[in-house]
Amino acid sequence: MQPLDTRIPAVLLRIDRNPFHHGTLGAVRSLGRAGIEVHLVADDFGSPVQRSRYLHRMHAPPAPGASLAEVAAVLRRVAHRLTGPAVLIPLDDAGALAVGTLYDQLTDRFLVPRVPGDVAERVADKAALARVCAQAGVAHPTTLAPESAAEAADAVHRLGTPAVAKWSRPWLLPRGTGLRSTTVLGSPHEAAALFERRTEAGSRLLLQAFVPGTRDADWFVHGCAGRDGVVRGGGTGRKHLSWPRSAGLTVSGDWTANPALWSAAAQVVSALEYRGIFDLDFRRDATTGDFHLIDFNPRPGAQFRLFADGTGTDVVRALHLDLTHRPVPDPQPLPGRTFVVENYAPLAALRSLTVSSPYGELAWHAADDPAPGAAMRLMWRRHVVRRLRDGMGHRSRRALTSLSAGPVEHPPAVLPAQANRERAVTDA
Bigger pLDDT: 351 or 203? 203
Of the given ranges (92-96, 120-124, 363-367, 402-406), which has the lowest mean pLDDT? Answer: 402-406
The answer for residues whose C-beta is within 8 angstroms of residue 254's C-beta and 6 or more apart is: 237, 238, 240, 306, 336, 337, 338, 339
Q: How far is CA 230 from CA 110, 265, 274, 342, in A?
A: 22, 12, 10, 34
The model's pLDDT over 31-90, given as tens digits with 9 standing for 90+, comes to 999 999 999 999 988 899 999 999 999 999 998 789 999 999 999 999 999 999 999 999
Neighbours of 179 (CB within 10 A): 16
Q: Taking all residues of the chain, what is their mean pLDDT, rounded to a whole number?
A: 87
Alpha helices of 81-146 — where are they, by DSSP H? 93-101, 103-106, 119-124, 126-136
- For residue range 381-409, list pLDDT tens digits in order: 887 788 788 776 656 555 444 434 443 33
Q: Considering only CA atoms, which of 243, 180, 220 is closest in space to residue 380?
A: 243
Quick one: pLDDT at residue 400?
44
